[in-house]
A and B are shown apart, each in its own frame.
Chain A
């Protein structure tokens, strides 16, 4: 995860996720 810092950060910034 340390190597993929930006992806990790962008995924953590939640924006109204939808669940099944």
Chain B
């Protein structure tokens, strides 16, 4: 007998692994004197470039591109900060009490305090600790990122059934992965999904914080970042 064919659901996880974007760097401007404004400018510029990458990545999620353009926009407008934060969290896993915004931009508690990002630092670190405890793997992280996008609870979805179909496919991919790879913990998929409320809460805080920075007008922000920030409030 031929070996049983690999389930297409496992294929989703391997596909998401391949679709993972290349690292991008913060590259702080060396000619600018160190200040909170410089740190925030660096982070907003990094976020703007990461957004371009996230939009390209989303198109590689199986099923995403079959949604209407309007629904693709709505999901991204709701979930982009969750996706950004989840990536920071995953990069920070090998570190101790530091947030890896980029490989060349790591912030500790003191740096976060000086930049006015202490609240955000504390929240993101709470997420890091949860995933450290779970020893989350790259396969799980890429699937969770896609789930965060599909499950972003946008109020503007036109074709709810198609978005539900995408959520179901990704949810099933996670469950399928866990039932093959983590037979020792039948509740692992649930544990991972239960981290999403804290991710949503943290992203909401981050959006509010960066929106108030935008209103103060001291930090230059690129157009895509501004566009996405405005879509959230």
Closest B residue, CB atoms, query A10: B55
Contacting residues, chain B, for A11 (C-beta < 8 A): 55, 59, 69, 72-73, 76
Contacting residues, chain B, for A15 (C-beta < 8 A): 56, 59-60
Given A1-B70, A11-B59, A11-B72, verify A19-B65 contact (CB < 8 Å).
yes
- Give min CB distance, B83 to chain A, whole Å: 14
**Which of A5, A12, A16, A20 is B69 in contact with, Cβ under 8 Å?**
A12
Q: Are B52 and A10 in contact, with the CB atoms below 8 A?
A: yes
Scan residues 28-87 of chain B and give those whose CB is less than 8 A from a CB of chain A. 52, 55-56, 59-66, 69-70, 72-73, 76-77
- Give min CB distance, B26 to chain A, whole Å: 21
Closest A residue, CB atoms, query B65: A17
- Interface residues in B, total, Cβ within 8 A: 26
Q: Which of B59, B70, B169 has the most CB of A within 10 A?
A: B59
Scan residues 97-120 of chain B and give those whose CB is less than 8 A from a CB of chain A. none
**Which of B15, B70, B224, B228 is A18 in contact with, Cβ under 8 Å?**
B15
Q: How large is the interface on A (under 10, 10 to 19, 20 to 34, 35 or more residues)?
A: 10 to 19
**Which of A4, A12, A16, A20 is B227 in contact with, Cβ under 8 Å?**
A4
Q: Are A5 and B227 in contact, with the CB atoms below 8 A?
A: yes
Complex CA distance for A10 and B165, rounded to whole angstroms: 24
Complex CA distance for A20 and B70, rounded to whole angstroms: 19
**Which of B62, B66, B73, B76 is A1 in contact with, Cβ under 8 Å?**
B73
Complex CA distance for A19 and B11, rounded to whole angstroms: 12
Contacting residues, chain A, for B59 (C-beta < 8 A): 11, 14-15, 17
Which residues of B line the A interface, CB within 8 A?
15, 52, 55-56, 59-66, 69-70, 72-73, 76-77, 165, 169, 223-224, 227-228, 230-231
Question: Could you list 9 examples of A-B contacts with CB < 8 Å?
Answer: A4-B73, A7-B227, A10-B52, A11-B69, A11-B73, A11-B76, A14-B65, A17-B59, A18-B62
Which residues of A line the B interface, CB within 8 A?
1, 3-8, 10-12, 14-20
List the 8 shortest-distance A-B pairs measured between CB atoms, nearest first. A17-B65, A20-B63, A10-B55, A6-B224, A18-B62, A17-B59, A19-B66, A20-B62
